[in-house]
C-alpha cells in the first residue's frame, strides 16, 4: 500500500505533523504501508515534521517537494529508495537521518534545502545524482562513504560552506 493524497488534501490545511502508520485497515483487511507516493505531500505549506515507519521502503519523486516549513524527517530504517526531488525546496529542513539501506541519492533530492548543515551518507550509497544537494548553502559537512563510486555534476554546487573532500576513488562527473 502506498500513501497518496487527494487533490489539495494537505495543501494549506494547517497539518504540521504527519505520522505515517505502518499499517492501514480497509474493508476489514489490514495492509502494510510500503511507499510514499510521488507528489504525496508536495506543497504542504504548513508541514513541519514527518515520521515514516520502518515498513516504508520507498519515498516517491517530489513526495515532499516545496514543503517550505518542513524541519524534521524521520525516514525509518526500511527506506532503500528516495525519488528525484523528494525533498527539493524544503528550505527549513535541518534534520534528516538517511537510513542504512539507502544505495542512491537521486537527482535534486535535497536541492535548495537551505537549513541542512550536516549530512551523513550511509555506507551503502554508491551514487549521488545531479543537483542532489545544490544550493544547500548552510551545508558544512558531508560524510561521503569511501565506496561512493559516482558524484554527478553539480551535486554540491552552491554549497559554499562545504569543506568535506571527496573520497579518492570517487568518479566526479563534471559538465
pLDDT above 70 (res 1) = no
pLDDT above 90 (res 112) = yes
pLDDT in tens, 19-69: 999 999 999 999 999 999 999 999 998 999 999 999 999 999 999 999 999
> Tell me, what's the pLDDT at 85?
98
pLDDT above 60 (res 8) = no
CB 134 within 8 A of CB 158: yes
The chain-wide mean pLDDT, for the chain, equals 88
pLDDT band at 2 (very low <50, low <70, confident <90, very high): low
* pLDDT above 70 as % of the chain: 86
pLDDT band at 171 (very low <50, low <70, confident <90, very high): low
> Tell me, what's the pLDDT at 24?
93
pLDDT above 60 (res 118) = yes
pLDDT above 70 (res 97) = yes
pLDDT above 70 (res 137) = yes
Question: Among 88, 167, 101, 160, which residue's Cα sits nearest to residue 131?
Answer: 88
Residue 165 vs residue 67, higher pLDDT:
67
pLDDT above 90 (res 82) = yes
* Distance (Å, whole) CA 17 – CA 159: 29
DSSP string, 58-85: EE-TTTTTT-TT--EEE--S---EE-TT
Mean pLDDT (whole number) for 67-78: 94
Amino acid at each position: 500500500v502506498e500513501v497518496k493524497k487527494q487533490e489539495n488534501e494537505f495543501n494549506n490545511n494547517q497539518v504540521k505533523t504527519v505520522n505515517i502508520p505502518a499499517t492501514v485497515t480497509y474493508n476489514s483487511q489490514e495492509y502494510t504501508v510500503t511507499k510514499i507516493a510521488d507528489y504525496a505531500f508536495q506543497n504542504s505549506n504548513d508541514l513541519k515534521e514527518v515520521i515514516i515507519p520502518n515498513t516504508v521502503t520507498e519515498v516517491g519523486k517530489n513526495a515532499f517537494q516545496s514543503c517550505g516549513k518542513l524541519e524534521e524527517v524521520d525516514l525509518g530504517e526500511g527506506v532503500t529508495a528516495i525519488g528525484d526531488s523528494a525533498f527539493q525546496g524544503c528550505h527549513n529542513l535541518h534534520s534528516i537521518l538517511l537510513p542504512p539501506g539507502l544505495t542512491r541519492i537521486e537527482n535534486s533530492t535535497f536541492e535548495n534545502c537551505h537549513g541542512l548543515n550536516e549530512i551523513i551518507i550511509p555506507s551503502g550509497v554508491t551514487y549521488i545524482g545531479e543537483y542532489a544537494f545544490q544550493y544547500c548553502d548552510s551545508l558544512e559537512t558531508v560524510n561521503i562513504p569511501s565506496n561512493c563510486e559516482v558524484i554527478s555534476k553539480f551535486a554540491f554546487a552552491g554549497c559554499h560552506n562545504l569543506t568535506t573532500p571527496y573520497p579518492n576513488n570517487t568518479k566526479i562527473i563534471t559538465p
